Amino acid sequence: MAKAGEKSGGSGKKGLKRKAAVADPQEAAVAGDGATEGGVQPPKATAFPPGFSISEIKNKQRRHLMFTRWKQQQRKEKLIAKKKLKKEREALGDKAPPKPVPKTIDNQRVYDETTVDPNDEEVAYDESTDEFAPYFNRETSPKILITTSDRPHGRTVKLCQQLSTVIPNSHVYYRRGLALKKIIPQCISRDFTDLIVVNEDRKTPNGLILSHLPNGPTAHFKMSSVRLRKEIKRRGKDPTEHVPEIILNNFTTRLGHSIGRMFASLFPHNPQFIGRQVATFHNQRDYIFFRFHRYIFKSEKKVGIQELGPRFTLKLRSLQKGTFDSKYGEYEWVHKPREMDTSRRKFHL
Amino acid sequence: MAASSARRYHVWVGTETGILKGVDLQRKHASNFTATGQPRREAAVSVLCWGAGGETQILVGCTDRMVRCFNTEEGAFEGQRRCPGGEGAFRGLAQAEGMLITCVDSGVLSVWRSDDKEAPSDPLLELKVGPGVCRMRQDPARPHVVATGGKENALKVWDLQRPEEPLFRAKNVRNDWLDLRVPVWDQDIYFIPGSQKLITCTGYHQVRVYDPTSPQRRPVLETTYGEYPLTAMALTPGGNSVIVGNTRGQLAEIDFRQGRLLGCLRGLAGGVRALQCHPSRPLLASCGLDRVLRIHRIRRPRGLEHKDELEEPQEPSEEPPEDSEVDELWASLEAAAKRQLPQANRTLRAPGTRKRRKCPRATVP
């Protein structure tokens, strides 16, 4: 029987092609009349009914065989097309059309109307008189209080300690079940400028509340992918006491500007370049990646970097005007998944 | 700016940086007007109201206790006057029969003569309504009647011709199920047209209706919406419902005859600061802390009509849109925008919707 021959032929992979080619006329006999299947087989072989697709073959092994054969054919065709294109490009030389840029979600991003134009005076005025103005006018220098949610476990405690080495002039305090609304007036009276609360759930840190103190906005982030220092591979030695530089990438919209300024106001103004340390807040697709590196210039163009300190990813959940008051405070921006996440190419930061 | 009688601004918005913006919805363009030419945060707009003479003048109350008069036809600020007395920002501004009524946060309600602009004269009448006022609203039918309310400041209706005692002083509701006193925080007040009733929305997410004509001083109807303080309210043109907004940017239409939630409007990302309905058409303008002015269609179908980025945190105020040419407004939705504003997205979402029609042009009442 044709089918028995097929089964025995289906053993080795190498034998597949030849056996399949041989099996074709038999399959044609079995399947009956009709057109070829996708024009893949040699014309003499097949006679499949029109509109037949491989997925309609009931026999799993034969179906798999046909599919593998089809895939190999596709790969071959693709390789041939690529080689042809390459040859054409080489033949044209300088006159070749530029290579088409592949579409990524980042370059298909829906243009956001709130993207800040660098020449916009209204936004410039707004930023020069907002709550971060004292920091950016060098009237105050940052003093940070880092704490956690109540009864933190080891990972969170270590993260706070490592954060305090990364952020200069920061102090870690144990949260003894105190209410944030009571902590905040005390911080203000002791001249703290920012409050960071690392929220913990099931022994891992999963949230961050960053509140700028005298009366400034409060940002609530979701934190994920936290890696402590010992979990980072090929890392350098512990960070020194030098004030790091900061890199804020890709905060383009008005909301992004506010958040970027919030991060910038955590660090003192004059970075000490001797320390060669840099903290990066990189925004991509609304996720903010925090990294802390030490760099060294090996020559004018080559840099080597070592990752030091902790690394985590943040996603903004809400930005509230005023200090922490989740019940009665007014929100400047709230993330609403069902309304804002409808398009995969629209981002808000 | 050139004479702007040709340019008709549909919505006026005041901002926290002291700029008054006129938004032209047909051309999808906003123009800035400032008193001094430079934005100033000290002159942040706290209240807006229409001045005398139809819709040609706007009175702008700023945090530096100046009330500035803006002429919409000329497109310029005309005069200003200082209104001292009391502390805090303006919470209410109204115009009646040649008089200017102002109310500030600390509870000092003053009536000024509106002719002498520059010289800060003494007020004609000064009334103390209690500290912590959040809103003062004038009755459109009876210009000498105002209502005030605020945080721990119960709703009171005053007649300015007899200022010794309020016409109506609301009583707090009964203690709740734990026998605790229910706190009071009236954030916005409206007089219901066609009757003497008042409707307020509170910071404890309640919407209450009061009837001064009934012997009951407690609210006649009370409903709650959401879990966040309601900051702004607007009466719909139909006359049976209000739209309230809270600090999270949720807008809801509530029927105040039955106390039922009719539906929600989506789109806002930040706290709502001001809402205004069009006097005749089912359109609602909303602005808030997310710096965007949105025009919503309230019914048939409920959705976002138009969105305009204004780049300033918008404080209270918008003025009701003027009556614009009907067909041109509808037709302008496809017009090329100056600032690359998005097309009106018809997000349909409403529990309890009425029968929806696809074609928007058929919905003009």
Residue pLDDT, tens place only, A87-122: 988 888 777 788 889 999 888 888 888 888 888 888
Please say if the pLDDT value at position A13 is more than 80: no
Band of pLDDT at residue B191, cut at 50, 70 and 90: very high
Lowest-pLDDT range of A5-9, B181-185, B249-253, B351-355: B351-355
pLDDT score of A46: 65
**Which residues, other chains included, contact A174 with Cβ-Cβ below 8 Å and sequence gap of 6+?**
A147, A148
Whether A113 and B340 lie within 8 Å, measured CB to CB: yes
For the beta sheet containing B221-224, the strands, ordered from the edge strand earlier in sequence to the opposite edge, are B186-191, B198-202, B206-210, B221-224
pLDDT score of B357: 42
CATH topology of domain A149-341: Rossmann fold (3.40.50)
The C-alpha atoms of residue B102 and residue B124 are separated, in whole angstroms, by 12
The C-alpha atoms of residue A46 and residue A52 are separated, in whole angstroms, by 12
Could you tell me the two tokens for A129? 């008189």
pLDDT score of B124: 84
Cβ contacts (< 8 Å) between A117 and chain B: which residues?
none
Across the range A275-279, mean pLDDT stands at: 94
Q: Choose from A255, A333, A340 for mutation: most chain B CBs within 10 A.
A: A333
- Our CA-based measurement puts residue A264 at a distance from the nearest CA of chain B, in whole angstroms, of 21
Nearest to B102, CA basis, from B155, B57, B48, B182: B48
What DSSP assignment string belongs to B19-49?
Answer: -EEEEETTTTEEEEE-SSSS--GGG-EEEEE
Please say if the pLDDT value at position B112 is more than 70: yes
Cβ contacts (< 8 Å) between B41 and chain A: which residues?
129
Cβ contacts (< 8 Å) between B342 and chain A: which residues?
113
Q: Would you say A320 and B248 are in contact if contact means Cβ atoms under 8 Å apart?
A: no
**Domain boundaries defined on chain A:** 57-92, 149-341
What DSSP assignment string belongs to A253-276?
Answer: BHHHHHHHHHHHTTS-SS--GGG-
Of A111, A123, A332, the CB nearest to B270: A332
The C-alpha atoms of residue A347 and residue A98 are separated, in whole angstroms, by 29
Band of pLDDT at residue B145, cut at 50, 70 and 90: very high
Cα atoms found within 13 Å of the Cα of residue B263, Cβ hemisphere only = 18
- Our CA-based measurement puts residue B173 at a distance from the nearest CA of chain A, in whole angstroms, of 21
Predicted confidence (pLDDT) per residue in B52-64, tens digit? 777 788 888 888 8
- Our CA-based measurement puts residue B313 at a distance from the nearest CA of chain A, in whole angstroms, of 9
The C-alpha atoms of residue A243 and residue A235 are separated, in whole angstroms, by 19
pLDDT score of B113: 83
Share of chain B above pLDDT 90, in %: 32
Please say if the pLDDT value at position B18 is more than 50: yes
What DSSP assignment string belongs to B297-356?
Answer: E-SSS-EEEEEEE--S-EEEEEPPPP---HHHHHHGGGSPPTT-PPPPP-----TT----
The alpha carbon dihedral of A268, B311, B18, B128 has a sign of negative
- Rounded to the nearest angstrom, the gap between the alpha carbon of residue A180 and the centroid of all alpha carbons in its chain is 31
DSSP-derived pairing of the beta strands B292-297 and B283-288: antiparallel
The residue length of chain A stands at 349
Taking CA atoms, B76 is separated from B20, B68, B145, in Å, by 10, 10, 30
Please say if the pLDDT value at position A158 is more than 70: yes
**Which residues, other chains included, contact A184 with Cβ-Cβ below 8 Å and sequence gap of 6+?**
A195, A211, A213, A323, A324
Closest-approach residue (CA) in chain A for B338: A113
Lowest-pLDDT range of A39-43, A297-301, B108-112: A39-43
The C-alpha atoms of residue A230 and residue A237 are separated, in whole angstroms, by 11
Per-residue exposure over B316-338, b if at least 16 CB sit within 10 Å of its own CB, e if not: bbbbbbeebeeeebeebeeeebe
Higher pLDDT among residues A8 and A138, named by residue: A138
**Predicted ipTM?**
0.81
Across the range A288-303, mean pLDDT stands at: 94
Band of pLDDT at residue B317, cut at 50, 70 and 90: low
Whether A125 and B289 lie within 8 Å, measured CB to CB: no
Of A113, A327, A340, the CB nearest to B309: A113
Whether A126 and B311 lie within 8 Å, measured CB to CB: yes
Whether B269 and A327 lie within 8 Å, measured CB to CB: no
Predicted confidence (pLDDT) per residue in B232-288, tens digit? 999 998 878 999 999 999 999 999 999 899 999 988 888 999 898 888 888 888 888
Band of pLDDT at residue B320, cut at 50, 70 and 90: low
Predicted confidence (pLDDT) per residue in A222-239, tens digit? 999 999 999 999 998 999
Taking CA atoms, B59 is separated from B74, B81, B102, B256, B280, in Å, by 14, 10, 11, 30, 23
- Our CA-based measurement puts residue B138 at a distance from the nearest CA of chain A, in whole angstroms, of 26
Whether A331 and B270 lie within 8 Å, measured CB to CB: yes
Q: Choose from A115, A123, A125 for mutation: most chain B CBs within 10 A.
A: A125
- Our CA-based measurement puts residue B249 at a distance from the nearest CA of chain A, in whole angstroms, of 8
Across the range B45-49, mean pLDDT stands at: 87
Of B32, B269, B291, the CB nearest to A336: B269
pLDDT score of A301: 92
Could you tell me the two tokens for B152? 């721990």
CA dihedral B101, B103, B107, B110 (to 10 degrees): -30
* A347 in B contact zone (CB under 8 Å): no
The enclosing H or E element of A110 equals none
Band of pLDDT at residue A200, cut at 50, 70 and 90: very high
Please say if the pLDDT value at position B48 is more than 50: yes
Kindly report the average pLDDT of chain B as a whole number: 80
The C-alpha atoms of residue B260 and residue A178 are separated, in whole angstroms, by 40
Closest-approach residue (CA) in chain A for B17: A126
Band of pLDDT at residue B75, cut at 50, 70 and 90: confident
pLDDT score of B40: 82
Q: Would you say B200 and B186 are in contact if contact means Cβ atoms under 8 Å apart?
A: yes
For the beta sheet containing B99-104, the strands, ordered from the edge strand earlier in sequence to the opposite edge, are B90-96, B99-104, B108-113, B125-128
Which positions 320-339 of A are in contact with B (Cβ < 8 Å)? Answer: 321, 327-334, 336, 339
